[in-house]
Amino acid sequence: MSFWRVVLSIICPPLSIIDKGCGSIIIVTLLWFCGWVPGVIGAMVILNNPKR
């Protein structure tokens, strides 16, 4: 996880995981619409997952 991905996930979480797949983008976008903090947490979890 690079520094710029972390910054982008804080500013706009769906853009930080744009290369992780459509399902991940939809989940993070829905979380982001529910609130900023859940979207950031979801993006960080997906970015820290070594399998994806």
Question: Which of the two residues, 51 and 20, has the higher pLDDT score?
Answer: 20
Question: Which of the two residues, 39 and 52, has the higher pLDDT score?
Answer: 39
Rounded to an integer, the average pLDDT of 39-47 is 93
Distances 27 to 3, 4, 14, 50 between C-alpha atoms, Å: 22, 21, 9, 18
For residue 2, the model assigns a pLDDT of 84
For residue 51, the model assigns a pLDDT of 76
Rounded to an integer, the average pLDDT of 20-25 is 91
For residue 52, the model assigns a pLDDT of 60
For residue 32, the model assigns a pLDDT of 94
> The tokens 């399902």 sit on which residue?
23
